[in-house]
Structure 1
Amino acid sequence: MSNNEDIGQRLQLVRKIYGLTQRALSRRAGVTNGAISLIEQNRVSPSISSLKKILDGIPMSISEFFTLDLVPSGEVFFRDHELPDIAVGPKITMKLLGRQTKGRAMQILHEYYEPGADTGESMLRHDGEEGGVVVRGTIQLTVGDKIETLSVGDGYYFNSQLPHRFVNNSDGICEIISTNSPPTF
């Protein structure tokens, strides 16, 4: 495959990933629909300035165009029943998303705290940052010397080296979607 074929196929893939028809991209970029068609068919090799003009319609830089990995490697979608429970305490469920994903830069958890659940009297501490949003119920969160009860729609974000603890003092289940970076599990 020549460079021309790489450019044509890559442009077509990028355009489709961004949900653009040739006509929509041509309008956004200010070029003719025929020009995009010819490039994608590898019948014309675009100049750098022409390619830049087309990519500005996405928008995407030339370096992103040539270096971006456009095909997902490994799994992308995960079903609830496939998520391993990595909770370390009773009355707590922590389902980990993408555990087998190589080189993860973050950790995403779907957490459930039953009434009376507590991450422990010893405060948690680890490297990185974490954040989350309560999607059901309430949770009492202690971070350093601050204590707050969070409800549906409330969130948190903090340096994970600060001592922290989660407690469900309510009579209902608390559900949280959270993330940590870097991953600790």
Structure 2
Amino acid sequence: MSGFDVGGRLRALRIERDLSQRELAKRANVTNSTISLIEQNSVSPSVSSLKKILDALPVSISEFFAGEPSQEEPKVFYRAEELTDIGDGQLSWRLIGARRPGRSMSILHERYPPGADTGETMLEHDGEEGGVIVSGTIELTVGNEVQQLGTGDAYYFDSRLPHRFRNVGDRECVIVSANTPPSFSDGGDACHHV
């Protein structure tokens, strides 16, 4: 989450909702010190930890990073530098059209360096998701199934099943994925891989 003031943005959203650090921590089921350290930019939260806190507001990951939806005519083409990175500094998840109003799906360009992991806590949210491994290897756990997928392999599953992504290889894994409904724009209840 480098280059983005995570702490400042979290503090502004918390204050906007008239919540104390203690109340937000209670709602998110984290410690008061966790909220304080994040707001001071003393720690960089994992995507799953940040999602847990944002769910308590509720604010989606894309709303957190992208701000308000664009009032301009929806774009058709996006240059690489225009994609909104909603990763955690280790994982890079670049969301296409983050500020597009009325978006009905999320499309991500994902990068997992060796050892990257979405976290021990399995993810679950409404919807479906699928993707194609562009390069590298990813270990995907869905429910009780675990598979290692390589370049050209793909996945598609019901996102309500507990799932986790881990790069167990020795080189970066790149994935292009999509999920619906657009979990990165819905107010806090769901988020792809986070």
Q: What TM-score, normalized by structure 2, do the two folds share?
A: 0.57
Per the alignment, residue 107 of structure 1 pairs with 106
> Residue 184 of structure 1: CA displacement?
1.0
Q: Write out per-residue CA displacement over residues 31-77 of structure 1, whole angstroms, 9 at most, x where no aligned residue.
A: xxxxxxxxxxxxxxxxxxxxxxxxxxxxxxxxxxxxxxxxxx51000
* Structure 2: unaligned runs, 5 residues or longer: 1-72, 185-194
Per the alignment, residue 170 of structure 2 pairs with 171
Query: Alignment identity in percent?
Result: 56
Q: Conserved in 2, the CA contact under 8 Å of 1:139 and 1:166?
A: yes
> Residue 90 of structure 1: CA displacement?
4.6
Q: Write out per-residue CA displacement over residues 119-155 of structure 1, whole angstroms, 9 at most, x where no aligned residue.
A: 0000011110000000010000000000000000000
Partner Cα separation in structure 2 for residue 100 and residue 91 of structure 1:
23
> Residue 91 of structure 1: CA displacement?
2.0
Per the alignment, residue 140 of structure 2 pairs with 141
Partner Cα separation in structure 2 for residue 155 and residue 112 of structure 1:
15
Instruction: Select between 138-147 and 98-107 the one with higher mean Cα deviation.
Output: 98-107
Per the alignment, residue 119 of structure 1 pairs with 118
- Please give the secondary structure, in 2, of the residue aligned with 1:75: coil
Q: Conserved in 2, the CA contact under 8 Å of 1:140 and 1:149?
A: yes
User: Does the alignment pair 1:184 with 2:190?
Assistant: no
Runs of 4+ in structure 1 over 6 Å off:
none
Partner Cα separation in structure 1 for residue 143 and residue 81 of structure 2:
35
Partner Cα separation in structure 2 for residue 79 and residue 93 of structure 1:
16
Q: Conserved in 2, the CA contact under 8 Å of 1:90 and 1:117?
A: no
Q: Conserved in 2, the CA contact under 8 Å of 1:141 and 1:147?
A: yes
Q: Write out per-residue CA displacement over residues 71-111 of structure 1, whole angstroms, 9 at most, x where no aligned residue.
A: xx510000111101111x45210000011111111000000
CA RMSD of aligned residues (A): 0.9
User: Does the alignment pair 1:82 with 2:88?
Assistant: no
Partner Cα separation in structure 1 for residue 117 and residue 126 of structure 2:
21
Partner Cα separation in structure 1 for residue 94 and residue 181 of structure 2:
17
Q: Which amino acid aligns with 2:80?
A: D
Partner Cα separation in structure 2 for residue 86 and residue 137 of structure 1:
21
Partner Cα separation in structure 2 for residue 115 and residue 139 of structure 1:
9
Partner Cα separation in structure 2 for residue 120 and residue 166 of structure 1:
8
